[in-house]
Amino acid sequence: MKVIRTSNYGEMSRTAGELIIEKIRSNQQLTLGLATGSTPKGVYEYLISDHWQNGTSYKNITTINLDEYIGLRNDHPNSYHIFMRKNLFDLLDIPLAETFIPDGTADDLETECLRYENLIKEKGGIDLQLLGIGQNGHIGFNEPGTPFKSRTHIVTLAESTRQANSRFFPSFREVPAQAITMGISTIFESREILLLASGAAKAEAVARLINGDSDENFPASALKLHRNVTIIADEAALKLV
Ligand code: PGA
């Protein structure tokens, strides 16, 4: 794993943004794996301002998101469908039909998981997957204990994850208890992975990722076995390394 140390959130976002733009410019049909949460928002802002200033086009890009809550309609303000539209898709020239997010309202959720796996295959796999990291080491919504061989599946969210995400909801009670997430093996098959971390709250997780062993109780540590992972983190997130 390569580690790029940046001074703060802004520099982390710019560094990741520039790397993604370079990939898009060299492969206009890139399949880009995307993430939600606070961490990638600055990257998305960077991509949007570059798009308007420099004309980088997303017309032929495909995007595939990591996860979605179960039970929230796709037009619910807290759904990841709306997060992605508001923070990225509606502000680029990407056709919405080439943006994919699991459907957490599907009647048959097991079939939806299989459909998502097949979709990723049909799209030729993910060229570059963007990831955040949870304080408990989760990637996507793969909580500690998830087998490294897992494919897209239904998860019950850890209490700590629901607490962390309750900042986006009117109350903790309204945070869904379940989600659909790409599995660790699904994520691992991405040709390249870019993991971002910012702030002191992530310092323990980042230190364990960089210095610890590969262990299913710490999902992000699966990435230690991958050949093409770059961690871009700021000083605060790297302070225990
Ligand atoms: P965050 O979430 O970017 O909102 O900190 C990251 C994660 O939980 O994967």
Q: In the chain, pLDDT over 90 holds for what percent of residues?
A: 98
In this structure, are residues 104 and 67 in contact, taking their beta carbons and an 8 Å threshold? Answer: no
- Tell me whether residue 240 is in a domain: no
- Tell me whether residue 216 is in a domain: yes
- Tell me whether residue 172 is in a domain: yes
- Tell me whether residue 239 is in a domain: no
Mutation to probe ligand 1, out of 9, 133, 166, 196 (largest number of atoms < 8 A from CB): 133
- Tell me whether residue 65 is in a domain: yes
Rounded to an integer, the average pLDDT of 125-135 is 97
Q: Per residue in 43-78, pLDDT tens?
A: 999 999 999 999 999 999 999 999 999 999 999 999
Total domains in the chain come to: 1
Mutation to probe ligand 1, out of 9, 38, 232 (largest number of atoms < 8 A from CB): 38
- Tell me whether residue 188 is in a domain: yes
Average pLDDT value over all residues in the chain: 97
- Tell me whether residue 46 is in a domain: yes
Q: What is the structure's pLDDT at 15?
A: 98
Q: DSSP state, 237?
A: T
* pLDDT band at residue 181 under the 50/70/90 scheme: very high
Q: Per residue in 7-39, pLDDT tens?
A: 999 999 999 999 999 999 999 999 999 999 999
Q: Which residues of 139-161 are buried (b: 16+ CB within 10 A; e: fewer)?
A: bbbbbbebebebbbbbbebbeeb
Q: Per residue in 138-161, pLDDT tens?
A: 999 999 999 999 999 999 998 988
Q: What does pTM read for this prediction?
A: 0.97
Answer yes or no: is the C-beta of 133 below 6 A from any ligand 1 atom.
yes
Q: Which residues pair with 68 in a beta bridge?
A: 180
- Active site positions, annotated: 67, 136, 138, 143
Residue 42 structural domain = 2-234
Answer yes or no: is the C-beta of 132 below 6 A from any ligand 1 atom.
yes
- Tell me whether residue 19 is in a domain: yes
CATH code for position 71: 3.40.50.1360
Q: In the chain, pLDDT over 70 holds for what percent of residues?
A: 100
